Amino acid sequence: MKLSRKARLKSSTKVYHVILRGNSKQDIFLEQQDYEKFLKEICVTKEKYQYEIYVYCLMPNHVHLVIYDKNDNLSKALQSLTISYSSYWNKKYERVGHLFQNRFLSKNVETQEYLKTLCRYIHQNPSKSGIAEMERYQWSSYQEYLNGEHIINENQVLALFHTVKHEAIKAFEQFHKANIEQQNMQDFLEYEMGEKPKDEQVAKFIVEFLNLRNVQELAEYSITKRNEALQKLRQLKGISKAQIARVTGLSVKMVERAMK
């Protein structure tokens, strides 16, 4: 007997943080034209399904969207978006099969404070991943907030910073240059990991969570400092001690002793 999927809980605010991932973590954008095409498809589906984009960031193998789904059409809208883009991508690159993972990740955005911090987290993705500085990255909504909206509806987010628009933009920019609070970073990373994170994904999370240069830096720490860092990793759900050992190059016994 095939079990049905658990229904998604609706957000009381109708705002959702959505992640679309390439199937098997494959890249979904290879050229500038691909990014442009995806943004055009967002505009088409926005019109058709009457949703709004508050925040977006297109990364090489995944997409972050913060969507206001006023008519409860989230699943239909995202299905239409991914099918249209996949059709374009498969035809262009002469391939068949699924481009995106079968089921998108979505998390309810229930508070204004969470929306503010989420906005910053998404916009900081390119710089955190070492792709480009946030201010220079072309494929996120950060520039739209500073220079004028094109795809997004900026009003809801800017209203969180100030009632006067130019003051709100100034506060928005200052807020984005600060680091994300540790607790919020933990929440975001746990959400992004999903059910079975791969080693390279875990390595990235550990680097961000502990603010390391690279994951191997842990092995260079003193025993006391290393154990304190490993203790912090107990907060992250879904990562086994064996996987932590594997990606950091530490022994399993060393990790287990530190994390008791």
Highest mean pLDDT among 16-25, 68-77, 97-106, 196-205: 68-77
Per the prediction, the chain carries an average pLDDT of 88
At residue 198, the pLDDT reads 74
Model confidence at 144, pLDDT cuts 50, 70, 90, reads very high
Higher local confidence (pLDDT), 220 or 145: 145
Helix (H), strand (E) at residue 59: strand 52-59
At residue 211, the pLDDT reads 83
Q: What is the CA radius of gyration of the chain?
A: 19
Lowest-confidence segment of 114-123, 173-182, 204-213, 235-244 by average pLDDT: 235-244
- If you average pLDDT over residues 102-116, what whole number do you get? 89
Share of residues in the chain with pLDDT > 90 (%):
55
In-domain check, residue 88: yes
- If you average pLDDT over residues 66-76, what whole number do you get? 95
Higher local confidence (pLDDT), 95 or 103: 95
- If you average pLDDT over residues 25-36, what whole number do you get? 94
In-domain check, residue 227: yes
At residue 37, the pLDDT reads 97
Are 95 and 161 part of one and the same domain?
Answer: yes
Output b/e per residue, 144-182; b: 16+ Cβ within 10 A.
bbeeeeeebebebbbeebeeeeeebbeebeeebeeebee
- If you average pLDDT over residues 164-191, what whole number do you get? 84
Measured on CA atoms in the order 190, 252, 255, 245, is the torsion positive or negative?
negative
Distances in Å between the alpha carbon of 243 and those of 15, 57, 239? Answer: 34, 29, 6
SS3 9: coil
Q: With contact defined as beta carbons under 8 Å apart, do 16 and 109 qualify?
A: yes
In-domain check, residue 181: no
At residue 34, the pLDDT reads 97
Distances in Å between the alpha carbon of 216 and those of 103, 207, 212, 220, 249? Answer: 33, 9, 9, 7, 7
Q: In the chain, how many domains are there?
A: 2
We report the CATH number of the domain holding residue 62 as 3.30.70.1290
In-domain check, residue 128: yes
Phi-psi region of 24 (alpha: psi -120 to 50; beta: other; left: phi over 0): left
Lookup result for tokens 């943004």 = 39
At residue 183, the pLDDT reads 65
Domain membership of residue 217 as a residue range: 194-258
Higher local confidence (pLDDT), 231 or 185: 231
Higher local confidence (pLDDT), 198 or 139: 139
Are 127 and 208 part of one and the same domain?
Answer: no
- If you average pLDDT over residues 99-126, what whole number do you get? 91
Residue 247 has pLDDT above 90, yes or no: no
Are 92 and 125 part of one and the same domain?
Answer: yes
Are 172 and 198 part of one and the same domain?
Answer: no
Model confidence at 204, pLDDT cuts 50, 70, 90, reads confident
